[in-house]
Structure 1
């Protein structure tokens, strides 16, 4: 089949302010409970339900199919605003937006109307790809087998971000019959699906990034998707969500520290003004952080533009142009990751220079911004991303599009 047989109106953008206005009241409600959820480690079931009911999960779906038709830069901008309210929530939706993107790309070859209707109805998709323990790199322990007239999924996954909130789970598995790697889209509501909130990171603690176990969980054959057909800029898309988390964390830190400075009455004898808010050195601390956050947000949106071009090129007929767009999407997300992580981690740490020791109060939870940013920045190690970019700049080596983690060779020294 060619891209012309199943034409789909593309999601190339809409009026951003009108789109954001739909969700900003919800973002404000989410922000109101963010500190308490952080303090008590309460998962954001209710906030995510608010977003589901408002159609947030369908913003990338074309207008003709009932969605908002947002572009990827507009999605990232929305995720930044949401991350400013609570950075855990957009990361919990990371797997969902990746699966939506895959189904949008798949529409070029075969209709995906059933999935698009599910997204518009508010159904969310979680993520279950990573295995821990003795599994070797390149291997997959999770299996789908055909028994008693149906396909059954068995395996255990960790870092299953967002799956505890989801209606479906995007599971990376291997077919027993052919040995091919597939995505098994399994209903999260089946008896054979168990989801546990056992993520123990010091940041991003309410993303639901724990363990999911599948025991003879039935999978419809139409929901076994050849992994080789996965959209090419997928790693860039996954990274874009984390970039939005980082930029939003920076915005939230700037907001909270500026508010603390405004209302602070105690001063140091070594200061420069009768009020902290009038002290030029304190103003400089806040101003520098504002510039760092501004640059982080700008970099995230530029990288999102590259991913949008990769999406649109998939529906054209120039395969060379599509390849170049995919390369650019991966490299730009990697460069943005390296820059944004440094900017936001520095800002969320240095902002403490604007206040005294009271800023370290557990009650205020100001440290959550650095902890959350540090955790988000630890995904997909920066040192390898920087090497990949350097190899491209020096040698023109094409970046990898899919990465795995697992045990090394048995004879490794």
Structure 2
């Protein structure tokens, strides 16, 4: 995967901050890429690799320089994230909730309070995971309550992506009165246990297992109303999945080109003495490359929309609302297209190499498995309906939704809002 990272195009007008950050992180991406296949084959979680990024400050890429970060905008950060995803698509997804919690604090910093304490924690290398999704009816059965004069958290969460690598956990919960809250709790707190029990056929190294809270004590200062979360969080969570898809597409392109270039076996009814000169095979590789280009360009377009919505928080309520609607719809449109396009590109890889492409030692199937797994999140068939409803009826998209076991009330009112799960 070295060639992909060496030749990755950068932002159209890279800033000095981007150039400095890229020079710092790209060598780490190279090291991550070098062991990606071995980790896949051994099902070895990338603790060491995430540690390299953590030590280099990658988790603070969006944080302003004066607070210890790289000060990157979303388009610049997305360029780097796609390159990281091309090296190992598991890792950006494992960092997904950390990136969102950084954004939560950036959004509110200087607007509704001083968040420098959290931003400086992240700049020092601390990382966050998540605990949102669960099977409870209505989406959230985890409870934050008082016991012995202390706040304690009790519940069981699934798909707690990245938490096994993290220092902090971003948790959704309910108070006994039913109000929805966000809780940030240390992974070292007594009563917090995380398990590596994710058994999906793709994105197997994201640390998307179960986390259980048993009378885990919570600092009251780390509790806030869920309704106060930054408004474009759903689009941002989706954006990181777009990043993963764009990176997978680039990895497919690289693996297709490399394997075709090096292949010695040929079919007697082919078109050239070497596969690398076979016009039909070159056509397939070119089609894969075009799909990767489209995936990257689409993802960077959503990144520019994220830059606009972040800026809109200073431009008044009407401008901010319009920008939030725009980024939600654009991230959905991108998801609809890439959820089909990238798995298709990953499947076409097998048309270039014959039966040898199915070798478990090559694990080329991981690209399709990873892409298809990413595409199952936040089902894109619903996004198609939402986008269509906007185009036809100007119906605003939902910004909050749930997943969990249905109950009688939920079955009668399937769109009733509650704290989101978002399959993070």
Aligned residue for 2:408, secondary structure, equals: coil
Q: What is the CA–CA distance in structure 1 between the aligned matches of 2:352 and 2:78, rounded to whole Å?
A: 29
| 2:130 pairs with one of 110, 127, 149 | 127
Q: What is the CA–CA distance in structure 2 between the aligned matches of 1:279 and 1:347, rounded to whole Å?
A: 19
Aligned residue for 1:315, secondary structure, equals: coil
CA contact (8 A) 2:190 2:217 kept: no
Partner of 1:5: none
| 2:116 pairs with one of 103, 113, 121 | 113
Q: What is the CA–CA distance in structure 2 between the aligned matches of 1:287 and 1:13, rounded to whole Å?
A: 31
Q: What is the CA–CA distance in structure 1 between the aligned matches of 2:79 and 2:216, rounded to whole Å?
A: 36
Query: What is the CA-CA distance between 1:13 and the residue it aligns to?
Result: 6.8
Q: What is the CA–CA distance in structure 1 between the aligned matches of 2:17 and 2:59, rounded to whole Å?
A: 17
CA contact (8 A) 2:252 2:288 kept: no
Partner of 1:401: 399
CA contact (8 A) 1:125 1:167 kept: yes
Partner of 1:99: 101
Matches within 5 A, 1:11-410: 15-107=17-109, 108-132=111-135, 135-137=136-138, 139-176=139-176, 178-316=177-315, 318-410=316-408
**CA-to-partner distance for each residue in 1:98-132, whole Å, 9 max, x for gaps?**
11101111111100011011000100000110112
Structure 1, 12-21 or 115-124: larger mean CA deviation: 12-21
Query: What is the CA-CA distance between 1:351 and the residue it aligns to?
Result: 1.6
Q: Gaps spanning 5+ residues in structure 1: where?
A: 1-11
CA contact (8 A) 1:14 1:68 kept: no
Structure 1 runs (4+) deviating above 6 angstroms are none
Task: Report how many residues are paired.
Answer: 397
Q: What is the CA–CA distance in structure 2 between the aligned matches of 1:38 and 1:14, rounded to whole Å?
A: 35
Aligned residue for 2:224, secondary structure, equals: strand
Q: What is the CA–CA distance in structure 1 between the aligned matches of 2:41 and 2:131, rounded to whole Å?
A: 27
Query: What is the CA-CA distance between 1:410 and the residue it aligns to?
Result: 3.0
Q: Gaps spanning 5+ residues in structure 2: where?
A: 1-13, 413-424
Q: What is the CA–CA distance in structure 2 between the aligned matches of 1:45 and 1:409, rounded to whole Å?
A: 39
Q: What is the CA–CA distance in structure 2 between the aligned matches of 1:315 and 1:55, rounded to whole Å?
A: 27
**CA-to-partner distance for each residue in 1:199-239, whole Å, 9 max, x for gaps?**
00000001000100011111111100210000110000001
Given the two structures, how large is their TM-score scaled by the length of structure 1? 0.94
**CA-to-partner distance for each residue in 1:60-81, whole Å, 9 max, x for gaps?**
1111211111111222211110
